[in-house]
């Protein structure tokens, strides 16, 4: 089960798993287990991450600025949010060498940006391989700063990476609101 904003994911996990008590198996379920009738897997909309725009509170100026760039705030990806918002604040955004990468520049400071998009039905957390590839790409880009932007949730290892390399930040799903707020206030 994946996290949502309406109900904390840990609470929902306990709600669903607490209803299964191994010692309270009914006779009907026992006969189903004994005869090997397979259960039908259900797919719910909770198994899919919604676009990040549905979870964010955007200031009106940023919302309008994104719309003037042709970005729909309710259907945008995290990469569109970050590059669109940075361009509103005077950054020049250029495509990078690889698909899904960008170079943002302002006042002579270059920022390497890599987008990690979520694919429906995919794993909802940034993979270790993606983090390692980003670190190598950032170092070889010779940029002053680096941002890995993702629609997915961040693994715990990103804290260690940021601590070791302070020029790098990971803007994952749970950090996007803070990113928007810091730009709007700052």
22 has pLDDT over 80: no
Indicate whether 80 and 122 sit together in one domain: yes
Indicate whether 173 and 108 sit together in one domain: yes
Indicate whether 122 and 173 sit together in one domain: yes
Indicate whether 40 and 129 sit together in one domain: no
24 has pLDDT over 90: no
CATH number at 180 reads 3.40.1350.10
Indicate whether 38 and 57 sit together in one domain: no
CB burial class (10 A; 0-12, 13-18, 19+) of residue 15? exposed
Higher-confidence residue of 10 and 136: namely 136
- In a domain, residue 1? The reply is no
- In a domain, residue 3? The reply is no
- In a domain, residue 18? The reply is yes
Indicate whether 40 and 83 sit together in one domain: no
Strands of the sheet containing 145-150, edge to edge, are 92-95, 101-106, 109-116, 145-150, 168-171
Which range of residues forms the domain containing residue 107? 52-185
- In a domain, residue 162? The reply is yes
Indicate whether 101 and 167 sit together in one domain: yes
Indicate whether 118 and 145 sit together in one domain: yes
> Mean pLDDT in the chain?
81
Q: Please tell me the predicted confidence (pLDDT) of residue 45.
A: 52
- In a domain, residue 165? The reply is yes
Tens-place pLDDT, residues 42-92: 445 567 888 898 999 999 999 999 999 999 999 999 999 999 999 999 999
- In a domain, residue 2? The reply is no
Of 47, 81, 53, which Cα lies nearest the Cα of 149? 81
Distance CA 160, CA 164 (A): 6
Tens-place pLDDT, residues 101-119: 999 999 999 999 999 999 8
Q: Please tell me the predicted confidence (pLDDT) of residue 59.
A: 93
Q: Which residues contact 55 (CB under 8 A, 6 or more apart)?
A: 5, 173, 176, 177
Residues above pLDDT 90, as percent of the chain: 65
34 has pLDDT over 60: no
Work out how many domains the chain is built from and give that number: 2
Indicate whether 151 and 82 sit together in one domain: yes
Sign of CA dihedral 38, 39, 40, 43: negative
Q: Which residues contact 153 (CB under 8 A, 6 or more apart)?
A: 3, 124, 125, 126, 172, 173, 174
3-state secondary structure of 91: coil
pTM score of the predicted model: 0.73
Indicate whether 95 and 141 sit together in one domain: yes
140 has pLDDT over 60: yes
């Amino acid at each position: 089960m994946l996290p949502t904003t309406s109900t904390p994911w840990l609470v929902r996990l306990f709600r669903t798993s607490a209803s299964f008590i191994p010692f309270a198996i009914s006779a009907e379920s026992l006969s189903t287990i004994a005869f090997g009738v397979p259960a039908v897997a259900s797919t719910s909309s909770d198994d899919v991450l919604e676009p990040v725009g549905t979870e964010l509170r955007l200031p009106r100026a940023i919302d309008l600025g994104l719309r003037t760039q042709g970005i729909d705030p309710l259907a945008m990806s995290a990469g569109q949010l970050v590059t669109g918002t940075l361009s509103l604040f005077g950054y020049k955004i250029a495509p990078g060498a690889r698909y899904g990468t960008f170079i943002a520049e302002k006042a002579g400071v270059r920022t390497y940006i890599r987008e990690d998009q979520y694919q429906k039905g995919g794993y909802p957390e940034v993979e270790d391989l993606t983090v390692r590839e980003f670190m190598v790409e950032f170092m070889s880009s010779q940029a002053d700063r680096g941002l890995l932007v993702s629609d997915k949730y961040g693994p715990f290892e990103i804290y260690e990476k940021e601590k070791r390399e302070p020029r790098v930040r990971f803007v994952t799903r749970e950090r996007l609101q803070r990113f928007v707020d810091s730009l709007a206030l700052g």
